[in-house]
Every structure is written in structure tokens, then in C-alpha cells.
């Protein structure tokens, strides 16, 4: 996920597009700009830029996950990038009036903030997913294998747990390292923004939405899970685990 900062000029231009200012009378635009200028001089929008789809992801074809699936899947990822940027701009454009209307049943700030986690989750989850696919033939490091055996009983039981969690999830599975106690756990996700926990680092992401496999396996999710497991790029997962351990040692 690359990031680009918008200048104030670019930001105001983006706000104009996002809020439909082009359709407003000039005096209304000026009043709105004056109000914003009094409170927003320091706000900088950080824009997410989509990462390219890694070429190695297409190596999954030999396991049955096709190029077409990844190409279509990538378009969904780009959609999450666009929506993340759109929501960041909309949040930055909130006025004191909008803030005063914050409400847990329905309010603009509530809708934007809930949907922001869905959009940004969609960006992060897919970047993890595409990156940890495609190796084929690589192996978990002995350190990671030992840790999986410690927290799951054996590597084979971890695999069993991963597949069962994959069958039970409505959207995602993440193998994550918990910085508080050093444990590893296969978390279940029903959406882009459920149910990760704080202070844990995902080291493997498995997309179980139907768009990830339906073209190739129709409703046979178990076959997709087998293909995914064969296509895991363990070099990437090993590196993420090592980085998570380094973070915990700091
Ligand atoms: Fe997906």
C-alpha cells in the first residue's frame, strides 16, 4: 500500500469533486471554504495507491487457482483502495456541524468510520493475501514450524485447524502472532473488518469469499483451500513471522 500526500490545492479540488461543490452557487462555496479554512489549515490527506498484483501470484495456476480469478480479484482490491481514499477525503471534509450530529444509531461520522474499516481492511487483507501466494515448493521455517506445533499440537493439526476455520469463515482467515503472549492463532473473519484483535500481527491471510474461488472451483471451497495451502509462499510467511518476533523484542 503506497501512500501519497495531497497538497492543499489538490485536497480542495478533491473535496470539490467529492462533495459536489461544482453544483453549488459560488457564494455558498466561498462560505464553506471560509469555514473550512478556519479549522482545517493543517489537515493532510494521505492517499493510498494500489500495489501492482505480484507476478508470482499467477504461479497458483498449477494448483488450480486461475489467472482470471486473480485478475478479477485485483479489481475488487482496487475498489477498496478507491473507497479508502474517498472516505478519507469525506472524513477530512466533516464540519463542526457534522461532528455535533455524531449518533450511535445513524450519523454521517458513524457511517464513514464503520465503512472506513471495511474499505481499509479490504486493502490490507488483499495485500497480505496476494503477497503470501505463489511460491509453491517453499517450506515453513523450523522456527515457525516449532511455534505452530507449540500452539496447535503439531504442524498437521495447525493445517487441520486452518482448513476447518476456512470452511467456517464467511470472509477471511488470518494466522496471526500475538505480541502479548507470543502465541499463534488462526483468527476467523466474516468481513474485511471482523474479527481481528489488537496487538497481533497477521502473518498469513486466506480469502474465503466466493470471489476468491468460484470461477475455478464453483462451490467446492474445500478444493480451493487445498489449492491455497499448496500455493502458500512460505518464504513470505517466514519473513513476516521473523519480523513480528523482532517487533516483540524491541
Ligand atoms: Fe477478496
Q: What is the pLDDT of residues 198-233, one digit of tens each?
A: 999 999 999 999 999 999 999 999 999 999 999 999
Of 34-38, 78-82, 93-97, least confident by mean pLDDT is: 34-38
* Distance between Cα 134 and ligand 1 center (Å): 16
CB contact at 8 A, 16 and 6: no
Residue 6 pLDDT grade (very low, low, confident, very high; cuts 50, 70, 90):
low
Overall average pLDDT of the 4-28 stretch:
41
* Distance between Cα 130 and ligand 1 center (Å): 10
What is the CATH topology of the domain spanning 142-249?
minor pseudopilin epsh fold (3.55.40)
Q: Which residue has the higher pLDDT, 2 or 152?
A: 152
Q: What pLDDT was estimated at residue 3? A: 61
* Distance between Cα 40 and ligand 1 center (Å): 35
* Distance between Cα 202 and ligand 1 center (Å): 16
Grid coordinates given for 192? 474485511
* Distance between Cα 21 and ligand 1 center (Å): 34
* Distance between Cα 210 and ligand 1 center (Å): 8
Distance of alpha carbon 227 from its chain centroid, rounded?
22
Q: What pLDDT was estimated at residue 250? A: 76
- Cell numbers 457534522: residue: 98
* Distance between Cα 135 and ligand 1 center (Å): 19
* Distance between Cα 244 and ligand 1 center (Å): 24
Does the pLDDT at position 27 exceed 50? no
- Cell numbers 500452539: residue: 151
The Cα–Cα gap between 53 and 58 comes to 9
CB contact at 8 A, 101 and 108: yes
What are the sequence ranges of the domains in the chain?
Answer: 2-131, 142-249
Does the pLDDT at position 29 exceed 60? no
pTM of the model: 0.85
The Cα–Cα gap between 45 and 122 comes to 19
Q: What pLDDT was estimated at residue 249? A: 84
Does the pLDDT at position 58 exceed 80? yes
* Distance between Cα 28 and ligand 1 center (Å): 41
Q: What pLDDT was estimated at residue 11? A: 43
Share of the chain above pLDDT 90, in %: 80
Residue 4 pLDDT grade (very low, low, confident, very high; cuts 50, 70, 90):
low
pLDDT tens-place string over residues 135-171: 767 999 999 999 999 999 999 999 999 999 999 999 9
Amino acid at each position: 500500500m503506497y501512500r501519497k500526500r495531497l497538497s492543499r490545492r489538490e485536497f480542495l479540488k478533491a473535496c470539490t469533486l467529492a462533495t459536489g461543490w461544482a453544483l453549488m452557487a459560488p457564494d455558498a462555496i466561498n462560505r464553506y471554504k471560509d469555514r473550512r479554512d478556519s479549522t482545517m489549515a493543517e489537515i493532510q490527506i494521505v492517499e493510498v495507491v494500489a500495489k501492482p498484483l505480484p507476478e508470482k501470484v499467477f504461479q497458483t495456476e498449477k494448483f488450480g487457482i486461475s489467472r482470471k480469478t486473480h485478475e478479477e480479484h485485483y479489481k475488487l482490491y482496487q475498489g477498496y483502495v478507491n473507497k479508502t481514499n474517498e472516505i478519507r477525503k469525506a472524513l477530512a471534509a466533516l464540519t463542526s456541524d457534522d461532528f455535533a450530529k455524531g449518533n450511535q444509531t445513524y450519523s454521517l461520522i458513524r457511517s464513514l468510520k464503520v465503512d472506513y474499516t471495511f474499505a481499509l481492511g479490504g486493502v490490507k487483507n488483499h495485500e497480505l493475501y496476494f503477497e503470501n501466494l505463489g511460491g509453491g515448493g517453499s517450506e515453513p521455517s523450523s522456527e515457525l514450524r516449532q511455534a505452530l506445533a507449540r500452539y496447535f499440537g503439531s504442524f498437521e493439526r495447525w493445517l487441520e485447524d486452518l482448513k476447518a476455520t476456512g470452511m467456517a469463515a464467511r470472509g477471511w482467515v488470518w494466522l496471526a502472532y500475538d505480541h502479548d503472549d507470543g502465541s499463534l492463532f488462526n483468527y476467523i473473519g466474516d468481513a474485511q473488518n471482523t474479527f481481528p484483535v489488537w496487538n497481533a500481527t497477521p502473518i498469513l491471510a486466506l480469502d474465503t469469499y466466493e470471489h476468491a474461488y468460484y470461477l475455478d472451483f464453483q462451490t467446492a471451497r474445500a478444493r480451493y483451500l487445498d489449492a491455497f495451502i499448496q500455493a502458500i509462499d512460505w518464504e513470505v510467511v517466514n519473513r513476516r513471522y521473523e519480523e513480528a518476533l523482532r517487533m516483540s523484542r524491541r
